[in-house]
Amino acid sequence: MTKILIVYCHPYAKSFNHAILEAVKHNFDHHQVSYTVIDLYQDQFVPSYDVAELRLFHAGKTHDPLVQKYLRLLQKADGLVIISPVWWNDVPAILTV
């Protein structure tokens, strides 16, 4: 079965992006497509390095449990959907680092 990873990046549950997320999930459910949603704002993801993590960077490692979880999900995924606004000609900073 195909496993899709959805990365959702918007802080407001009544946003247009949230409506897109709900429509995508509904479509996947209707077609019996397996998916997992990563909600960066709900998870309170911190996209910056601290000193300890920066020391691990060159070895390709992390001490952040969320990054480890996200990496496992990405490695298992057959496809990726990113749902994010474009603010000031770019995606939110939480998604770019």
pLDDT tens-digit readout, 56-83: 988 989 999 999 999 999 999 999 999 9
Phi and psi angles of residue 59, each rounded to the nearest 5 degrees, phi first = -90, 0
Rounded Cα distance between 85 and 92, Å, is 7
Architecture of domain 3-96: 3-Layer(aba) Sandwich (3.40)
Given a cut of 80, is residue 1 above it in pLDDT? no
Q: What is the pTM of this model?
A: 0.90
Supply the pLDDT for residue 2: 67
Q: pLDDT per residue over 23-50, tens digit each?
A: 999 999 999 999 999 999 999 999 888 8
Supply the pLDDT for residue 97: 58
